[in-house]
Amino acid sequence: MNKQNTIVVAVDGPSASGKSTVSRRTAAAVGWIYVDSGALYRGVTWKCLKEGIDVKDAQAVTNLLIKMNFQLTCNGEAVGYLIDGEDPGMEIRGEAVRAHVADIAAQQPVRVFIVDKLRQMTKFGNLVMEGRDIGTVVFPDSPFKYYLDADPAERARRRHAELAQREGNSDVTKVLDALKARDQKDSNRATSPLQIALGAKIINSTGMTIEQVVDTIVGDLKAAGLA
């Protein structure tokens, strides 16, 4: 499929709004490729930490972007990447990366670098891409833009359950506080803040099942004759 005909479903929203699960399942339902754009910001953060670079030192971070080899990969179901030949794997989900990624995502050169990588992904085929600025900045012309939200308490409950499963211990009050702090940072940063894209369909998933949200998006694709 050539670049012109490629379709991107853009799914934006705050953390723990259900974007990942919904986007992954939507992609699987229609046989398109899933993209977790946050994983790229996490990858750059991981590389900085690995190289001992201060994530707040914009010049050092920019030098790293110029120097490193960031290669996209695709297994037919999802897009991944290698940084200087290495796959960071689950390390990008750890506490160290989590604590610093918002500082990395706030830097304009990082965003320019990653937006370019995200746009290149259309070479792999039709995409379901989740993030914070996919409908506003990366693919603003997409006819399929969604803003997924859920009440903060519900998002904290979901994230808490996820962390408890992965890391064994988690405190729901701390999770809610961290979530609100990250929302605040993501929504108020000067560069590409989290916003509802023009023409995006807003879905508040608080009282909805994952299947209902997926069905809403797949239904739109079916109505357009794409699924």
**142 — phi, psi (to 5°)?**
-60, 135
Cβ 223 to ligand DC shortest distance, Å = 26
Strand partners of residue 144: 9
Q: Could you tell me which stretch among 71-79, 132-140, 141-149, 209-217 binds ligand DC (CB under 6 A)?
A: 132-140
Cβ 26 to ligand DC shortest distance, Å = 16
CA atoms of 22 and 154, how far apart (whole Å):
16
Kindly tell me which of 1 and 177 has the beta carbon lying closer to ligand DC: 177
Q: Is 38 in the site for ligand DC (CB under 6 A)?
A: yes
For 26, 75, 99, 173, 218, the CA distances from 34, given in Å and listed in that order, are 8, 10, 25, 31, 14
Q: Is 147 in the site for ligand DC (CB under 6 A)?
A: no
Kindly tell me which of 38 and 80 has the beta carbon lying closer to ligand DC: 38
| Binding-site member from 105, 110, 200, 214 for ligand DC (CB under 6 A) | 105
Q: Is 42 in the site for ligand DC (CB under 6 A)?
A: yes
| Binding-site member from 133, 149, 175, 214 for ligand DC (CB under 6 A) | 133
Cβ 45 to ligand DC shortest distance, Å = 8
Residues 43, 94 contacting (CB under 8 angstroms): no
Residues 82, 71 contacting (CB under 8 angstroms): yes
Q: Is 158 in the site for ligand DC (CB under 6 A)?
A: no
